[in-house]
A and B are shown apart, each in its own frame.
Chain A
Amino acid sequence: MKDFRYLSGVASLRVDEEKCVGCGDCLEVCPHGVLKVEKGKATAVDHDACMECGACAKNCPAGAISLTPGVGCAAYIIQTWLKGRGGVSCC
């Protein structure tokens, strides 16, 4: 995946260190190796590789991860612009 990098500095992923209990569940589900647990806390070591799939947030037992779950799909985004976020389906 090293050949494929997308825009940097845009991903909305945030880890709340206060809430994180360091269980590591989020690392396991991430398809881009974005997260690591360092000193008992999860941190994004490769923030720009995050595709906002939401797997980590969905499986964090402490609710420590927040992001705007988006679909990285132009057709979907055009629909959300036209109709708003509700009532739109992706691919």
Chain B
Amino acid sequence: MKDTQEFFERNPAPSPEFLKTPFPMAPKEEDGGEIACCGPPAGPRSGANEKPGYLVWPFVEEFVQTPAGDTPRVRTRLSLLDRFLAAGARLGIARNSHKVAPGLYTLGLPGPESPVLVTANYKLSFDAVRSSMEGRSAWLLVVDTRGINVWCAAGKGSFSADEVTRQVVRTRLDLAVSHRTLILPQLSAPGVAARKVRRATGFTVQWGPIRAGDLPRYLDQGNKADPAMRQVSFTLGERVVLLPVEISMVLKPVALVILAGFLVSGIGHGGYSLAAAWHRGWVFATGILLAILAGAAVTPLALPRLPFTAFSAKGAVVGAVMGATYALYVSGGWMAGWALVLLMAAFSSYLAMNFTGATPFTSGSGVEKEMRRAIPFQTLAVLGGAVAWIAGGFV
């Protein structure tokens, strides 16, 4: 208080004449008041939807007033940002941040009779639904599946009758619509008992198509799915998008294997040789990287064309063929050649076996049976390959 008094004592109020002189850097009236004093021109005034502490997703077009409260209306066209984020999700970047807030959204301008589509709060699932609904009106109820896609969330139990119930109640969906029907993705059925949802909320579950792209046809047919809509597919395109995550998941253990490879590659006749470690180490490392390609990329892509039904066998074939080709190409002696074939077949086989988890048709019992048979062979091949590789330093 004392300081302010002192300030005013030392600085008397400015004279009325002084107040009339314009601030030298302010925009002049003759410029239309448009020229900024510094930096780029200012953007538009903050939108009416902005609230302190919140960030409005760019996919929200506006907030509409509905009987269930202010509801974000989302765009049905994906933006460049959406595509960029989707690519990040596919590459496994920031895996836990591809979420949208659970709750009620609108597509177009739905009324009390409009259908209610339910999906997971994984951004890619949400995007798939809204982008398939261009030019249509519907309610979109997003369930808190912890940012996991429909199928995995149903398997883990986070896409469940309880979670659906929670969102139906929390959003007051009963006020927004006059009917009592929810359309759930069929692939959520392993986690959702439809009758439990009805008992808890009064809403009847109808099973929508597996692929969001079939939604318009499903709705046009009066909520009826063709047999094809009820069957999963596993096309080449659907396999391609899985590869980056498959590969990124094995990079860490593979780095250790390669490091070990460099270390043992130096063992030979005259004791330990750094030059040999470097030279043979590179041959080894390249072989292991090729084995990843064989097991985590070539095998998944060529899946239906490869012999055998067991994934480990398919992967072993690809790994062995690529290993033999590579061994002939580097021609480091027959012992090292056999080592490469064995090691690459084993690694490729293991990675191919791991790919079972990403497919929509392998049963747990089947995979377990396959593993009980394959793992002993894979272990033997790795041991044999390692011994042969070290022995290859002596021949």
A40 at the interface (CB under 8 A from B): no
Option from A4, A61, A89 in Cβ contact (under 8 Å) with B361: A4
Shortest distance between the CB of B362 and any CB in chain A (Å): 3
Contacts of A51 in B (CB 8 A): 360-363
Contacts of B364 in A (CB 8 A): 52, 68-73, 76-77
Contacts of A91 in B (CB 8 A): 152, 155, 357-358
Query: From A76, which residue of chain B is reached at the shortest CB distance?
Result: B357
Contacts of B304 in A (CB 8 A): 3-4
Q: Decide: A1 near B232, CB < 8 A? Known: A10-B363, A72-B363, A77-B368.
A: yes
In the complex, A7→B367 CA distance in Å?
Answer: 8
Shortest distance between the CB of A82 and any CB in chain B (Å): 13
Q: Kindly supply a per-residue 1/0 record for chain B positions 183-222, scoring 1 wherever the CB is within 8 Å of any chain A CB and 0 otherwise.
A: 0001101111111000000000001001000000000000
Q: Kindly supply a per-residue 1/0 record for chain A positions 49-64, scoring 1 wherever the CB is within 8 Å of any chain B CB and 0 otherwise.
A: 1111111001101000
Q: Decide: A11 near B363, CB < 8 A? Known: A4-B303, A74-B354.
A: yes
Shortest distance between the CB of A29 and any CB in chain B (Å): 4
Contacts of A68 in B (CB 8 A): 364-365
Contact status A72-B309, CB under 8 Å: no
In the complex, A31→B371 CA distance in Å?
Answer: 24
Prevailing SS type, chain B contact patch: helix
Contacts of A59 in B (CB 8 A): 189, 192-195
**Chain A CB within 10 Å, residue with most, of B156, B186, B361:** B361
Q: Kindly supply a per-residue 1/0 record for chain B positions 2-39, scoring 1 wherever the CB is within 8 Å of any chain A CB and 0 otherwise.
A: 00000000000000000000000000000000000000
**Chain A CB within 10 Å, residue with most, of B191, B210, B366:** B366
Shortest distance between the CB of A81 and any CB in chain B (Å): 9
Q: Kindly supply a per-residue 1/0 record for chain A positions 25-40, scoring 1 wherever the CB is within 8 Å of any chain B CB and 0 otherwise.
A: 1001111110000000
Contact status B233-A73, CB under 8 Å: no
Query: From A80, which residue of chain B is reached at the shortest CB distance?
Result: B368
B388 at the interface (CB under 8 A from A): no
Contact status B361-A32, CB under 8 Å: yes
Q: Decide: A11 near B357, CB < 8 A? Known: A31-B230, A55-B190, A90-B152.
A: no
B310 at the interface (CB under 8 A from A): yes
Q: Decide: A71 near B361, CB < 8 A? Known: A4-B234, A33-B227.
A: no
Q: Which residues of B contact A (CB under 8 A)?
A: 152, 154-156, 186-187, 189-195, 207, 210, 227, 230-234, 303-304, 309-310, 353-354, 356-371
Q: Which residues of A contact B (CB under 8 A)?
A: 1, 3-8, 10-12, 25, 28-33, 49-55, 58-59, 61, 68-78, 89-91
| 19 sample A-B contacts, Cβ–Cβ < 8 Å, listed by A number | A4-B304, A5-B309, A6-B309, A6-B361, A11-B365, A12-B363, A12-B365, A31-B231, A32-B361, A54-B190, A58-B192, A58-B193, A69-B190, A70-B363, A70-B364, A72-B357, A72-B361, A74-B371, A91-B152
Known interface pairs A1-B232, A4-B359, A77-B368; 18 further A-B residue pairs with C-beta atoms within 8 A, sorted by A's residue number? A1-B361, A4-B303, A6-B362, A6-B363, A11-B365, A31-B230, A52-B363, A53-B190, A54-B190, A55-B189, A69-B190, A70-B363, A70-B368, A72-B362, A72-B363, A74-B354, A74-B356, A91-B152
